[in-house]
Amino acid sequence: MLAGKVYSAVDGQLLRELAEVREIIHDYNALRPSDSAGKLMILQQLLGNIADDEIIIVQPFYCDYGKQISVGKRFFANFNFTVLDEARVTIGDNCFIGPNVSIYTACHSTDPEERNSRREWARPVNIGHNVWIGGSVTILPGVTIGDNVTIGAGSVVAGDIPPNSVAVGNPCKVIKHLE
């Protein structure tokens, strides 16, 4: 799965891991919003890497495996942050995620027969440093977003976004380059 090869989405080991993570996510989302220590403890257990303890992920939060997610220093994600991390999701320092943002790494065939076989593959998502992602943005598999980027609310990011730019729309396109 992490190598980007085709795998069975109904593999027993993967289904067990997903079930375990859903229990952890349930516990995280059930914590009182003021329980910063409890939230940090669960995130440290769940996520693959956290650069420091200045991490805020407002509840509810959803992910598939958690361990493929890596976040940099001073990370903030607003409510309903959803990450389908069948491949690695790497997010740099000083990144801010608006509400209702989804990051997808899982890929499915457009051929119905092939899709119904439950075989899929995944592509990593990489987000640089100093990135602001507006509310209700969807980031698709295989995307890289460079450093110092702003993604406008409601965008669907289907391709790479270069550093030092502002990008918006569906599909998301660069509308401004920063100096």
Among the options 26, 108, 129, 177, which is catalytic?
A: 108
Residue 113's φ and ψ, nearest 5 degrees, are: -65, -45
CA pair distance 89, 72, nearest whole angstrom? 11
- For the record, the structure tokens of 162 come out as 């270069």
Q: Is the bond preceding residue 33 a cis peptide, omega within 30 degrees?
A: no
CB atoms within 10 A of CB 176: 10
Using CA atoms, how far apart are residues 171 and 159, in angstroms rounded to an integer?
A: 8
Catalytic residue at 26?
A: no
**Which two three-digit tokens encode residue 34?**
């003021």
Of 62, 50, 49, nearest to 23 by C-alpha is 62
Closest listed residue to residue 95, CA positions, set 74, 65, 121, 81? 74
Distance CA 65, CA 84 (A): 8
Residues assigned a catalytic role: 108
